[in-house]
Chain A
Amino acid sequence: MKLVKNAAGRIVPNEVNGRKEVPFKGINEHKPFGYKAKPLIKTCIDYPLSGNKLVKNLKDALRKCGLKDGMTISTHHHLRNGDNLTNIIFDTIHSMGIKNVRWFPSASFSVHEHLIKYLEDGTIHHIEGSMNGPLGKYTSEGKMKGIGVLRSHGGRYQAVQDGEVHIDIAIIAAPTADAFGNSNGVTGKSASGLISFSLVDSEYADNVIVVTDNLIQFPCIPWQIQGNNVDYVVEIDSLGDTKKIVSGTTEITKSPDRLLIAEYVAQFIEESGIMKNGFSFQAGSGGTNLAFVLFLKDRMKAKGIKARFVRGGSTKYLVQLLEEGLTDYILDGQTFDLDGIRSMRENPNHINTSPFTSYNFHGKGNFASIVDVAVLGATEVDINFNANVVSHSDGYLLHGIGGWQNCLYSKCTILAVPSFRDRIPVIIDDVTTLCGPGELIDVIITERGIAINPKRKDLISIMKYSSLPIKSIEQIRDEVYSICGGIPTKPKLNKEKIVAIVKWVDGTILDSIFQVL
Chain B
Amino acid sequence: MKTKIVKSFAGKRGDNVRSDCYFEISEKKSGGIKLELKSKVASMYGESIKSQVVEMCKFFDLKNANIYIEDNGALPFVIAARFELAIKRLNPMEQKEFLIPLNKKTIYKTTKDKLRRSRLYLPGNEPKFFLNAGLHKPDAIILDLEDSVAYQEKDAAQLLVRNALRAVDFYSAEKMVRMNQLPLGLNDLKFIIPHNVHVILVPKCESSEDIITIEEEVERIKRKWNISRDIFYMPIIESALGIIKAFEIAKSSKNICALTIGLEDYSADIGTNKTLDGKESFFARSMIVNAAKAAGVQAIDSVFSDVGDMENLRRNTLEAKSIGFEGKGCIHPRQIKVVHECFAPTEDEIKNAEMIIAAFEEAEINGIGVVSIGSKMIDAPVVKRAKKILNYNG
Contacts and interface: CB of A to CB of B under 8 A. Distances in A.
Interface of A: 256-257, 259-260, 393-395, 421-425, 447-448, 483-486, 488-492
A422 B72 contact: yes
A256 B19 CA distance: 16
B19 A393 contact: no
Nearest to B105: A482
Nearest to B337: A263
A394 B44 contact: yes
15 contacts: A256-B136, A256-B333, A259-B334, A260-B132, A260-B333, A422-B41, A423-B44, A423-B74, A424-B40, A424-B44, A484-B45, A486-B48, A489-B45, A489-B46, A491-B43
Nearest to A424: B41
Given A256-B136, A423-B75, A485-B75, A394 B43 contact: yes
A190 to B, nearest CB: 30
A423 B333 contact: no
Contacts of A486: 45, 48
B75 A256 contact: no
Contact of B43 (A257, A395, A485): A395
B135 interface: yes
Given A256-B136, A256-B333, A257-B135, A488 B73 contact: no
A263 to B, nearest CB: 9
A391 to B, nearest CB: 12
Contacts of A424: 40-41, 44, 73
Interface string B106-137: 00000000000000000000001001100110
Nearest to B137: A260
A488 B40 contact: no
A421 B73 contact: yes
Given A423-B19, A486-B45, A486-B48, 15 more contacts: A257-B135, A257-B333, A260-B132, A260-B333, A394-B41, A395-B43, A422-B19, A422-B72, A423-B45, A424-B40, A447-B132, A483-B131, A485-B76, A488-B45, A489-B45
B18 interface: yes
Contact of B48 (A256, A394, A485): A485
Contacts of B132: 256-257, 260, 447
Nearest to B42: A394
Contacts of A491: 43-44
Nearest to B48: A485
Interface of B: 18-19, 40-48, 72-76, 128, 131-132, 135-136, 332-334
A267 to B, nearest CB: 13
B286 to A, nearest CB: 32
* A259, A393, A421, A484: most-surrounded residue (chain B CB, <10 A): A484
Nearest to B46: A489
A464 to B, nearest CB: 20
A395 B44 CA distance: 10
* B18, B72, B131, B332: most-surrounded residue (chain A CB, <10 A): B131
Nearest to B19: A422
A389 B224 CA distance: 53
Nearest to A448: B135
A483 B45 CA distance: 12
B290 to A, nearest CB: 35
Q: Is the interface of A mostly helix, strand, loop or mixed?
A: loop
Interface pairs A-B: 6 shortest CB-CB: A422-B73, A488-B44, A256-B333, A394-B43, A423-B73, A485-B76
A488 B47 CA distance: 10
B43 A484 contact: no
Given A421-B73, A422-B72, A423-B73, A260 B44 contact: no
A395 B41 CA distance: 11
B41 A423 contact: yes
B41 to A, nearest CB: 5
A422 B333 contact: no
Contacts of A256: 132, 136, 332-334
A393 B334 contact: no
A257 B72 CA distance: 19
Nearest to B133: A256
A448 B334 CA distance: 17
Nearest to B74: A423
Contact of B44 (A259, A393, A447, A448): A393
Nearest to B79: A485
Contacts of B136: 256, 260
A433 to B, nearest CB: 14
Contacts of B334: 256, 259
A490 B332 CA distance: 36
Nearest to A259: B334
Nearest to B336: A256
Contacts of B72: 422
Contacts of B42: 394
A422 B45 contact: no
Contacts of B19: 422-423
Nearest to B131: A483
B44 A422 contact: no
A260 B48 CA distance: 31
Contacts of A394: 41-44
* B46, B74, B132, B334: most-surrounded residue (chain A CB, <10 A): B132
A176 B48 CA distance: 55
A38 to B, nearest CB: 46
Contacts of B43: 393-395, 489-492
A9 to B, nearest CB: 22
Contacts of A257: 132, 135, 333
A422 B73 CA distance: 5
A391 B381 CA distance: 63
Given A257-B132, A423-B73, A423-B74, A489 B44 contact: yes
Contacts of A489: 43-48
A489 B75 CA distance: 15
Nearest to A487: B44
Nearest to B18: A422
A314 B332 CA distance: 29
B75 A260 contact: no
Nearest to A425: B44
Contacts of A421: 73
A483 B44 contact: no
A260 B135 contact: yes
A235 B391 CA distance: 73
B294 to A, nearest CB: 37
A256 B136 CA distance: 8
A485 B131 CA distance: 13
B16 to A, nearest CB: 13
B107 to A, nearest CB: 15
Contacts of B128: 422
Contacts of A484: 45, 75
Contacts of B18: 422
A486 B41 CA distance: 13
A259 B131 CA distance: 15
Contact of B135 (A395, A422, A447, A490): A447
A492 B48 CA distance: 16
B53 to A, nearest CB: 13
A257 B334 CA distance: 9
A117 to B, nearest CB: 26
Contacts of A260: 132, 135-136, 333
A257 B336 CA distance: 13
A486 B52 CA distance: 13
A423 B44 CA distance: 9
Nearest to A516: B43
A393 B42 CA distance: 11
B334 to A, nearest CB: 6
Contacts of A492: 43
A252 B77 CA distance: 31
Contacts of B47: 489
A354 to B, nearest CB: 38
Contacts of B46: 489
A448 B135 CA distance: 7
B130 to A, nearest CB: 11
A194 B333 CA distance: 38
Contacts of B41: 394, 422-424, 488
